[in-house]
Amino acid sequence: MHLYCTGQGSPTVILDSGLSDSSLSWSKVQPQVAGFTRVCSYDRAGLGWSDLSPYPRESKIFAEELHTLLHNADIQPPFILVGHSMGGFDALIYAHRYPAEVKGMVLVDSAYPDLANRLPELKTSLSEWRRSLEREEYAMPFGILRMMGKCGSPELRTVNCDMSWLRETIAESRSMWNESAAEAGSVHSLGDIQLIVISEDPAKNTNEFLPEFEKGQDALAHLSTHSSRVTAVGSGHQIQKERPDLVVSSAQTVWAGLRVRENSTSR
């Protein structure tokens, strides 16, 4: 698995991408976080520069693989987990399974475990997208998607236009609102962990689902007794790309708060 760490300091910030995204999605965030502490981004198996995994592609496994990756790379806790979208599921499960390692968390427009039950249309939409990817799976080996300009920027073309990415994305999308959501939904409390929930700007999300999205974001914030919620004004779902400054400042707020706690308990 591919792991990319920069900066120095503790706690270490761990960046976890959303469905189908590689570590490149943090390219505007990681350099700035590295200015005040060590920060690591990584690619889930099958994405970016990571090899495929033989294990089921669901958030419980993602958390376990991340734990093994950090251990084998000798990246020592404590950690601040930053999870975007489906990566929020991974962060919740990781914190629940390895509570001694996680001291803070930032959820970046994170998926909410019960959202698809409240909005069945989400499952339908994701299923339709997955079927389109399954059709593309037949065309990928012949370079047709590249010729049609569906592979994105030159940077993304390297990691987002091959069979590995396609197969992993299809597998992740199958489990997102089923196994992964159920696993994340089993996390009912994060105790008093310092938590910041960043949500997209309601003005950028004018669809009829907005009230349920808002309820889900509020519910995430209530998982900790030491939490706050922030709106990313001017940003849609990809906050780490559209408002990287807010992700960086939130991570720094959690990091600084933990340093204060650490200093006060060591006296």
As a dihedral over the C-alpha atoms of residue 34, residue 91, residue 214, residue 33, rounded to 10 degrees, the angle is: 0
Domains of the chain: 3-265 (3.40.50.1820)
Tell me what pLDDT residue 187 has: 96
Tell me what pLDDT residue 132 has: 76
Q: Which pLDDT tens digit goes with each residue over 11-45? A: 999 999 999 899 999 999 999 999 999 999 999 99
Q: Average pLDDT over the chain, rounded to whole? A: 89
The band of 131, judged by pLDDT with boundaries at 50, 70 and 90, is: confident
Higher-pLDDT residue of 164, 37: 37
Question: What's the predicted TM-score (pTM) here?
Answer: 0.90
Residue for token pair 């950028």 = 204
Q: What is the mean pLDDT of residues 222-235?
A: 96
Tell me what pLDDT residue 223 has: 97
Helix %, strand %, coil % of the chain (to 5): 50, 15, 35
Q: Which pLDDT tens digit goes with each residue over 66-89? A: 999 999 999 999 999 999 999 999
